[in-house]
Every structure is written in structure tokens, then in C-alpha cells.
Amino acid sequence: MSTTSKAENTGGWALAVLLGVLAAGAATRAVAAVTATTGPADGATLVKTYCGACHLPDRQGTLARIGDERKTPEGWVMTIFRMQNLHGLQLPATARDTIVRYLADTRGLAPSEAAPARFALERRPNVPDLALPGDLQRMCARCHSAARIALERRDAADWLKNANWHLAEFPTIEYQEGARDRHWWREASTKVPAELGRLFPLHTAAWAAWQRHAPIDLAGRWLVRGDEPGRGTYWGTAEIRRTAADEYRTTYRLRFADGQALDGQSHAIVYTGYEWRGTATLGDRSTHEVFAASPGGRRLSGRWFLDDHAEIGADWDAVRAGRAPRIVLVSPRAIRAGTSTRVTIVGEHLGGRVDLGAGLRARVVHRGRTSLVLQVDAAAHAAPGYRTVRVGGANAADAVAVYDRVDRLDVTPAYAIARLGGGKIDPVAAQFAVDAIEEIPGPASKPQAVHLGALPVAWSIGPFDAQAAHDRDVDFAGRIDSRGRFLPAGAGPNPKRPFHADNTGNLEVIATLPPGAAGRPTAVVGKAHLVVTVQRWNTPPIY
């Protein structure tokens, strides 16, 4: 039944896409693509106008249910989408955007409340979900993530109403797998709301404090560093201009370590005083930005991802430019003993003496405003391990590592899911990356792992087990490209497979570093597990 409900939902969501109303990816877009500038008063009026028809005022003067909950901008988008899709609410897009903004600002989450589940907002693929305590995980996090729940705040009475709605909308919820082995409804209507009300209550000290917090102005010059799995490290600057109360336009000057430019522009709205949601163009790609400003407004971090493929994206970390000398990044982060390497130190006010530590000799090739390019000679006998990098008054501990061989390749994610594409449904790719490791004797002669980051490896796939080998999954499920991205095949019954099976697969992803690059007589191999499964029918803003 859960599958049926989801399939039915898909129909609705697909229709919504056609009508340009609001849907899956479009819902996220809606969070970012607001143009109207309206103050809280307008939001409050619009809520009364559009929501007041069904939601009556309660004793506190707020509207029933609406005043009993707090959630993220994405959470509000999802609830309002349900009001439209299921309950027939007619709501113009501009009014919806203003309402989402108003609700996220007045009934949002404090930064510390959203922190543990940011991965879901950032739509990071293949991240293990939060684990809810006790029986909650089995009761509540089998259809959707626990993160979806942890990103809302309500008291027990409202959590109970949410359980009632679940039962009404998905009546078989009680006797599906994972529910029929217990008195599901008895638990869902007693223990669960009480426990959720304790774990995720409406009124918290964190939210009260955040509401008193002075507004943050993010305008200014920022230093940016990030990492795109499969593509590498990038860095540069962001000029952020404030265009309205909580709206910004940004110009990016970024480049990857290999020199390729990643320039671009974004338009962002900051919800709840810190939740940055942007729509950007980076190089030739259309992206979304889900960042959080630190409470002091000096750091902006999160993830950006492709408009139409949230699984492809990059970490983002920006710090406000200041007056003090500072190192924000050293690239590459590993230098092989006995070689001469071009190294870039990214930071500001990088004047003065350069010191990369024992066994490394640096010559300055170029001093820029936010970078310092060096030619670094690593002595053949330089001891493997981390080094502190010092430039004038700035220093960064463990910012660079010297290595003489690679002992291990960790492939991340260690376990991933990719999904077949077909018809109107795009495949969901899986992007892999490696972290090369040299093990050196550490304190108390325990081995210490020195992380060298991504080195150029060859990617391949193999069967995960004997069944996968027998079914020739490798031949049907898709292929992996030279940057470690697995591109799944199309979906549907395949006459070439036994029982006309789908192109699903159970695979091993293999990264190989050749003997020369590994500094040893044999190649070093790292592996991950990849399950290629059926299409993703429904892509809500919070899965």
C-alpha cells in the first residue's frame, strides 16, 4: 500500500510539474526562486487569507495546526504542497513563496536544531539516516527518513494529529511489513507522540534564543573552498551583495585545482535568518545552494547540487574575508617524497616567509591577493606525515602531507545506491571518490593513517557476489566513467536477462592505483558496494 500511495502521489506530483504548480525538484526550486519582497505583515495576512478557510484561529490567536508546528523552509513547502494536492487549496505561486518565507521565519528551526539532519536538506546521497531512539525508528522511519521527522518541532498533541493523518491517508500503515508485528496504532497514538514531544518539542530554549538573535548581514567578500567528488578541490572568492531584506546576489570566481574555471552567479534567499537557499549558475551548470550561515555570520557552509540531479554536487565552505593573515586551503594536500610539485595556498594577507615543514623546500612562483603559488621540492628522504604550513603570520596545522607510498585506498561512499532511469524518470547516478592513505607508525607504535586525499585512479565494476556474477549484472546495470561516476542503465523488463528481469545489479566498485603511483611493486585497490535498484518515482525536498 505504501507503494500504491507513492505511485498515486507520483501521478499528482507529475501533474503538478506539468501545470508548473510545484513538485519534487520544483519544490526545492520554489524555496529558492522567490522574487517578491514582502515583510512579515504580508505573510501573516496571506496565511489568514489562504489558510484561514480551513484552519480556524485557536486560543493563542494563531491558526490551528499552523501555530503548533515549526519546520524548515523545505518542510513548509511540503506541507503546503499537500494542502494543494490533497485538500484542494488554491494558492498562487507568489503567495505561496511569501507564506513559506513568513512561516520559516516565524516558525522555523534554530541552527542547532537543524544541524543534525542538515544532510537531508543538502540532499547528500548515500548518507546514513539519523537513528531515532527505541522503537521510533521501526514505527516511523521505514517509509521516509528519520531526518524528515527530526526536522520538525511539535508538542505531543500535534504529533498525535500527525499520526492520525498518517493513518487516514495510508490506512494500511498498521499491517504493512514492519508494523503488523506489533500493536502499531496503539503505539503510534500513545508512546510515539509522547516521545516525539519530548525529543522534538515546539517550545525550546534554542528557538527562543534564536528569535532574539540580531539579524545577520551576509554582504561582503568571502573566501571559498570546496570539493566536488569525482572532480576535485576548488577555491576562489564570492562577492555577496544584499538586494533586499533577506535576499542576496552573488558573483563567484572559482576554479578547480586543474585550472578549470567554475565562475558563476547566484540569487539567494535567507530563511529563518540563516538558511541560505540559492539558485545559481556555476560554469555551464544550473545548481541549487543549501547553505547555513554560522550564528556570527562569518561562515557559510553546506552543499550545492545540480538542479536536475541532486546526487551530483559539492561541499561548500566560505569564510568572510578579514584583516588577519589566514590560510584556508592547501592544494594538493599530499606531496610525494622525492618530487617537485606545484602547490597553491589559498588564503589572505599571505605575505612573509613560507615554511612547509621538514623535508619540504618552497619557492614562491606567484603571490596573488588570495593565493600563493609555490614550487615545492620534497626531499627523497622526507619523513611521511602531516606538516604545519606557515606563511608570515598565518599557519595551518596538518594542512599538507608528505607520503612515499600508498597503503590503502578508501572508496567513499563505501555503500551506495544508484537507480535505473527510464521514460520520464532520470536515472540516479552514484559518484565515488577515493581517499588514499599511508600508514605510518604513530604514538605508542600504533599505525597512524595519513590521509592523502584523491589521487588519480582507474575505476571499474565487478559482481558483488556469485549470484551477481551468474546473472551478469555487470553487463546490464550500467557503467562507471573515468571520474568514478556510475551511470545506471535504463529500466524495464529486459528480454536478454533470465525472467526478463530489470537491469538491477549488485556490484563492486573498484578503484585501482597503479604500482608506480602507489610507490610499491603491486597496485593498490579499494572497493565499495553499489546496489543498482529500481527507479526513483518520487523526489520530495526532504526524503
Footprint of ligand HEC on this chain (CB under 6 A)?
2, 50-51, 53-55, 65-66, 69, 75, 78-80, 82-83, 86-89, 91, 99, 139-140, 142-144, 148-149, 152, 161-163, 165-166, 170, 173, 188, 192, 196
Q: How far is the CB of 139 from ligand HEC (least distance, A)?
A: 5
Any idea of the CA torsion for 258, 263, 267, 272, to the nearest 10 degrees? 30
Least separation in angstroms between CB 108 and ligand HEC: 13
CB of 69 to ligand HEC, least distance (A): 5
Distance CA 110, CA 130 (A): 18
Closer of 186 and 470 to ligand HEC (Cβ): 186
Partner residues linked to 227 by β-bridges: 233, 315
Q: Is the CB of 103 or the CB of 437 nearer to ligand HEC?
A: 103
22 SS3 class: coil
Which CB, 192 or 400, lies closer to ligand HEC? 192
Sign of the alpha-carbon torsion through 440, 230, 512, 259: negative
Task: Give me the torsion for CA of 134, 138, 144, 148, rounded to 10°.
Answer: -10
Query: CB of 23: closest distance to ligand HEC in angstroms?
Result: 11
Helices vs. strands in the chain: H and E counts, helices first: 16, 28
Gap between the Cα atoms of 537 and 539, Å rounded: 7
Tell me whether residue 73 or residue 488 sits nearer to ligand HEC (CB atom).
Answer: 73
Identity of the residue, 163 or 454, whose beta carbon is nearer to ligand HEC in the bound complex: 163
Minimum distance from residue 174 beta carbon to ligand HEC (Å): 9
Return d(Cα 359, Cα 484) in angstroms, integer.
33
Specify the residue, 144 or 527, whose C-beta has the smaller distance to ligand HEC: 144
Q: Which is nearer to ligand HEC, 91 or 409 (CB)?
A: 91
Nearest-angstrom CA–CA distance, 287 and 307: 5
Q: How far is the CB of 278 from ligand HEC (least distance, A)?
A: 23
Please, which residue, 81 or 234, has the CB nearer to ligand HEC?
A: 81
Whether a cis peptide bond, with omega within 30° of 0, leads into 413 is yes
Residue whose grid cell is 547528500: 124
β-partners of residue 376 are: 341, 362
Contact (Cβ atoms closer than 8 angstroms) between residue 349 and residue 325: yes
Q: Which is nearer to ligand HEC, 69 or 348 (CB)?
A: 69
Question: Who contacts 516 (Cβ-Cβ below 8 Å, separation ≥6)?
Answer: none
Cα 63 to its chain centre, rounded Å, is 33
Min CB(151)–ligand HEC separation in Å: 8
Cα separation values, 150 from 132, 171, 196, 200, 266, Å? 9, 23, 9, 7, 29
Residue 166 or 479 with smaller CB distance to ligand HEC:
166
- Least distance (Å) from ligand HEC to the CB of residue 161? 6
Query: 266, 278 in Cβ contact below 8 A?
Result: yes
Instruction: Report how far apart, in Å, the C-alpha atoms of 396 and of each of 325, 329, 357 are.
Output: 11, 8, 11
- Report how far residue 408's alpha carbon sits from residue 117's, in angstroms, rounded to the nearest whole number: 31
Question: Closest separation between CB of residue 90 and ligand HEC, Å?
Answer: 8
In whole angstroms, the minimum distance from the beta carbon of 163 to ligand HEC comes to 5
Q: Is the CB of 23 or the CB of 99 nearer to ligand HEC? A: 99
Q: How far apart are CA 28 and CA 287, in angstroms?
A: 11
Cell numbers of 542, please? Answer: 526532504
Nearer to ligand HEC, 275 or 317 (CB): 275
For ligand HEC, the closer of residues 66 and 261 by Cβ is 66
What region does 5 belong to: left with phi over 0, alpha with psi -120 to 50, or beta? alpha
From the CB of 286, what's the least distance to ligand HEC, in Å?
A: 26
- What is the smallest separation between the CB atom of 146 and ligand HEC, expressed in angstroms? 9
**Distance of alpha carbon 263 from alpha carbon 226, whole angstroms:** 13
Q: Partners of 449 in the beta sheet?
A: 439
CB of 410 to ligand HEC, least distance (A): 34
If DSSP states are collapsed to H, E and C, what string results for 366-401? EECCCEEEEEEEECCCCCCEEEEEEECCEEEEEEEE
- Cβ atoms of 184 and 139 within 8 Å: the answer is yes
Q: Identify the H or E element spanning 535.
A: none
